[in-house]
Amino acid sequence: MHLFAALMGAFVCAQTPSDRLTVQDIFHLETAAEPQISPDGKRVLYVRNFADIMADQRRSNLWILHFDGTDHRPITTGNFSDTSPRWSPDGSQLVFISDRDGSPQIYRQWMDTGQTAKLTSLTSPPSGIAWSPDGKWISFTMHVPEEAPRVAGMPLPPDGAKWADPPRIMDRLVYRFNGPGYLKPGYTHLFIAPAEGGTPRQISSGKFQHGGDAFRSSEAVWTPDSRFLLMSVNRRPDYELEPLDSEVYEFRVADGTVRALTKRKGPDNNPQISPDGKWIAYLGFDDKYQGYQVTRLYVMGRDGSGSRLVRGDFDRDASGIRWAPDSGGVYFLSDDQGNTGLHFITLDGSMKKLAGNLGSGASAYGGRGSVSAAANGNYAVTYTTPSVPGDIATGNLKTGGLKVITAVNEDLFAGKKLGQVEEIWYPSSKDGRKIQGWILKPPGFDASKKYPLILEIHGGPFANYGDRFDIEKQLMAAKGYVVLYTNPRGSTSYGQEFGNLIHHAYPGDDFHDLNSGVDAVIGKGYADTGNLMVTGGSGGGVLTCWVVGHTTRFRAAVTVYPVINWYSFSLTADIGNFTTKYWFPGLPWDHVEHYEKRSLLSVVKNVKTPTMVLTGEEDYRTPMSESEQYYQALKLLGVESRLVRVPGEPHGISRRPSHHIAKVLSILDWFDKHKKM
């Protein structure tokens, strides 16, 4: 904490005008997300994310504008979290979730008058709200608590006594999860409530999780006749041991009768019913317990019959599916070579790409795109580039293309010089395979000068970086560093074969892809070979440790929330039920040598590089105990090292904006300290 105090003190003192981004701009950055186009295609609602500097909290309000970008104004205001806007079927009203009265509840607003009504007084936060086509009901999911197990025979304290909190008893495999923390006893279920307000009614039942952060259920969608709700759920009795095996279920609103519409080994996710009620589109794959499996688009009849793969030769993941208004095809998102595109596919498999650069956020990671389509063929999406964190853009199915209609960071970026991004392809020293990456250069870059270089490695590992805005990398560039970020083998957006090059072999040959990227930048002549740094988070933290365990070329390293010991990780992380099936050939005690040879402790004795370990104390994805093992190993070996623990932070270290600032400053401070002058 003394380090954080010093860093944050420096941050306070450094708040002077600058023509470059500074860490305090983390508080000023905004992003546009969750676009919702009106049924007639004339207006677009969206969520505008911002930070409250006085409360050190992430907040969001709702904004609206016309399809052409005019009449841009807020629908809600204040330091609250307003999310999930949904139009009424006739476009005259909306519902949304807000915590403006202290806890998240569902609100309804009339567009003509601006009048707002609170519809619910729920005991648990709602999520996944949807308006029924007849306008009478709002569906949502909510946690239904059960009594926690207790110590049998425990006496009650006498009146006035103050005893300690009782023991917490866990009796489930998944008992905590990154983000929400320790899970409350009970199950998440599907509900409906009158759109006019009133008592919610539970639709689903049973000891299954119909939603929730730790489980992979989809949001529910209404059938056009408002009689049924469709959602993907894992209702296996052993759902904790087979976490991906979901099916598409139909729930009868009148009595909660449930019927499975799919039945296969593997996920059947995100069902979307066609406007004419004849077809259901959904996503999934035949599960082979591979590390990476391409998510494909399927269509079946409304009754679950005739399921078929729409385009089997498309070797990229599909996501975010939405039906066209005439039921003739489906919009979907897909990443290709680090760029998220919007596509349209007809039921006969004819496909066209409508636009690229979809996404929104403060990181170069993919997977943050969103699309909403209207009856007249208009659509709204989130839009990002290396210089645009996240705005709203619109287009039309017939004409394609995008028109960006917001500029939520125009005020912040006025007078600021961002680092410019160059795409790079280079051969891997392992096998000559072409690897894609990006070079972010400091503002005012001069190719005749020498710059310190940071290799920044993505996590996942089945994920991708791309030509998207990234605040952390921009702040590194603003401090005078060239930043290289790449998609080594195992990254998504290059097809199933490339993704599975690390199946049961991670970390491993990805080292050669990363090291070759550094060589490629050095070959351009402006990287200072005496000032090479390396960092990455999660899977990028794993690879940071793997890199410094295989080479001494880097002057300093920062491994951020890494996995260090795959054996202990499998028994303490929130996703051990998944990783032991998909990332490893089985349980650790049955494959001890396999786990140990991929452990970062297997190469720690080779480390000579000064290394900082940086992790949130409430990280249950890569628990703090992993970082503690590596830090103590480095200390026992006499390697210069530092452990930084961030209180109250889960995986990512960005829940609180000030902690996000401290994360960036900690990394830069370590690199500056070890930079050869």
Residues 341-366 have a mean pLDDT of: 96
- At 213 the pLDDT is 82
Residues 199-223 have a mean pLDDT of: 94
Q: State the pLDDT confidence band at 653, using cuts at 50, 70 and 90.
A: very high
- Rounded to the nearest 10 degrees, the angle between the axes of helix 510-522 and helix 539-548 is 70
Using left for φ > 0, alpha for ψ between -120 and 50, and beta otherwise, residue 134 falls in alpha
- Rounded to the nearest 10 degrees, the angle between the axes of helix 2-13 and helix 657-674 is 90
Place of tokens 């996000």: 660
12: pLDDT strictly greater than 50: no
Residues 642-660 have a mean pLDDT of: 98
- At 401 the pLDDT is 84
125: pLDDT strictly greater than 50: yes
Give the DSSP per-residue string, 603-647: TGGG--S-EEEEEETT-TTTTHHHHHHHHHHHHHTT--EEEEEET
Please list the alpha-helical segments (H only) found in 176-260.
Answer: none
- At 17 the pLDDT is 62
Residues 233-247 have a mean pLDDT of: 96
604: pLDDT strictly greater than 80: yes
For residue 540, what is the enclosing H or E element? helix 539-548
Residues 6+ apart with CB under 8 A from 309: 296, 297, 298
Helix (H, G, I), strand (E, B) or coil at 238: coil
Please list the alpha-helical segments (H only) found in 164-219.
Answer: none
CA distance 214 to 191: 19
Name the percent of the chain lying above pLDDT 90. 95
Name the percent of the chain lying above pLDDT 70. 97
- Phi, then psi, of 337 in degrees rounded to 5: 50, 50
479: pLDDT strictly greater than 90: yes
344: pLDDT strictly greater than 80: yes
Between 15 and 355, name the one with better pLDDT: 355
Average of per-residue pLDDT values in the chain: 95
**Using H for helix, E for strand and C for coil, what is the string for 325-380?**
CCCCEEEEEEEECCEEEEEEEECCCCEEEEECCECCCCCCECCCCCEEECCCCEEE
- Phi, then psi, of 349 in degrees rounded to 5: 95, 0
Residues 347-354 have a mean pLDDT of: 94
Q: Are the C-beta atoms of 415 and 400 separated by less than 8 Å?
A: no
Q: State the pLDDT confidence band at 400, using cuts at 50, 70 and 90.
A: confident
7: pLDDT strictly greater than 70: no
CA distance 159 to 46: 53
Tokens of 480: 């005078």
Positive or negative CA dihedral for 173, 178, 179, 182?
A: positive
Q: Is 347 exposed, middle or buried (0-12, 13-18, 19+ CB in 10 A)?
A: middle
For residue 518, what is the enclosing H or E element? helix 510-522
Q: State the pLDDT confidence band at 179, using cuts at 50, 70 and 90.
A: very high
- At 71 the pLDDT is 97
Reported as a single tens digit per residue, the pLDDT across 22-55 is 999 999 999 999 999 999 999 999 999 999 999 9
Q: Are the C-beta atoms of 396 and 379 separated by less than 8 Å?
A: yes
Q: Are the C-beta atoms of 192 and 253 separated by less than 8 Å?
A: yes
Q: State the pLDDT confidence band at 80, using cuts at 50, 70 and 90.
A: very high
Reported as a single tens digit per residue, the pLDDT across 66-75 is 999 999 999 9
Partnered with residue 189 across adjacent β-strands are 142
Reported as a single tens digit per residue, the pLDDT across 523-545 is 999 999 999 999 999 999 999 99
554: pLDDT strictly greater than 90: yes
6: pLDDT strictly greater than 80: no
Q: State the pLDDT confidence band at 399, using cuts at 50, 70 and 90.
A: confident
Positive or negative CA dihedral for 217, 220, 221, 223?
A: positive
13: pLDDT strictly greater than 60: no
Starting at the earlier edge strand, list the strands of the sheet with 482-487: 421-427, 434-440, 482-487, 451-457, 527-537, 556-560, 611-616, 641-646
- At 677 the pLDDT is 84
Going from the C-alpha of 508 to that of each of 512, 550, 598, 611, the distances in angstroms are 8, 10, 8, 20
Q: State the pLDDT confidence band at 9, using cuts at 50, 70 and 90.
A: low
- At 14 the pLDDT is 46
**What architecture is domain 417-667?**
3-Layer(aba) Sandwich (3.40)
Pairing between β-strand 116-118 and β-strand 611-616 as defined by DSSP bridges: unpaired
Q: Are the C-beta atoms of 522 and 512 separated by less than 8 Å?
A: no
Q: Are the C-beta atoms of 505 and 513 separated by less than 8 Å?
A: no
DSSP secondary structure code for residue 113 in this structure: T
CA distance 534 to 550: 13
Positive or negative CA dihedral for 368, 374, 377, 378?
A: negative
- At 16 the pLDDT is 54
Q: Are the C-beta atoms of 353 and 343 separated by less than 8 Å?
A: yes
> 146-149: long-range contacts (C-beta < 8 A, 24 or more apart)?
146/185, 146/186, 146/187, 147/185, 148/184, 148/185, 149/185
Start and end residues for every CATH 3.40.50.1820 domain found in the chain: 417-667
Cis peptide before 507 (omega within 30 of 0): yes
Positive or negative CA dihedral for 80, 84, 88, 90?
A: positive
Place of tokens 């709204």: 380
